[in-house]
Amino acid sequence: MEAWHYIVVLGLLCIVYAALLPRRSNAEQTQEISRQLEGSLDAFAAELEDSNSKLVEAMTEIKRTQDARMNELRERLALQEQRTIETERELRKAEERLAEVERRFLSISTAPTLPAASADETKTGAAFSASPAAKEGHSPMRTRYAELFALYESGKSIEAIAKKLGMNKGEVQLIVTLAGQEEQAGVQK
């Protein structure tokens, strides 16, 4: 073989080797890209998992806060219901007291008047005619609720009188009104 044959064969080997070499480096490049892509995907998955765990923690905290708020609102509702029940009881008691005052007033205003000199006076009539308030011309209501009328005549409001005496405003107003009507009925006789 001549020298030029060696050169041609060597050239052909270099060409074949050169043709094969980029394939190897291309395969290495593909493997490197695959490794980088896997690393990126792993990092993305880890970041996504971290974000998901933070989101789950945030949702858990929101639920815990909502549950606490709901429990607080339930307790407040139960307390308000108890207060409503107590207020209704107090209202019924006040209505019963008002009905009692009305019954007493009606029994006083519908009682027959007896002559002052009659020997058959009842105990109520004797007590009324013997009382100093009756002799001064005061009505039985004014005698019975002297403190109330003292406050009323001193210029105190119905609310202030009710608060001081521990009575309902409506009850105080009714007593004042009924006493006024009783006095007008006594003046007209």
SS3 readout for the chain:
CCHHHHHHHHHHHHHHHHHHHHHHHHHHHHHHHHHHHHHHHHHHHHHHHHHHHHHHHHHHHHHHHHHHHHHHHHHHHHHHHHHHHHHHHHHHHHHHHHHHHHHHHHHHHCCCCCCCCCCCCCHHHHHHHHCHHHHHCCCHHHHHCHHHHHHHHCCCCHHHHHHHHCCCHHHHHHHHHHHHHHHHHHHHC
Number of structural domains (the chain) is 2
With respect to residue 152, please indicate whether it lies within any of the assigned structural domains: yes
| Confidence check: pLDDT of 31 > 50 | yes
Give the residue, 105 or 24, on which the prediction is more confident: 105
Among 53, 68, 103, the domain boundary falls at: 103
Q: Could you tell me if residue 96 is inside a domain?
A: yes
Q: Which residue has the higher pLDDT, 139 or 44?
A: 44
Per the model's pLDDT, the better-predicted residue between 12 and 97 turns out to be 97
User: What pLDDT is attached to residue 118?
Assistant: 39
Q: Is residue 114 included in any domain, yes or no?
A: no
Residue 108 counted as domain residue: no
Q: What's the pTM?
A: 0.35
Domain stops at, among 87, 103, 119 = 103
Domain boundary among 66, 87, 103: 103
Read off the pLDDT of each residue in 57-79 and give the average, rounded to a whole number.
96
> Which domain does 68 fall in, by range?
45-103
- Percentage of the chain beyond pLDDT 90 is 37
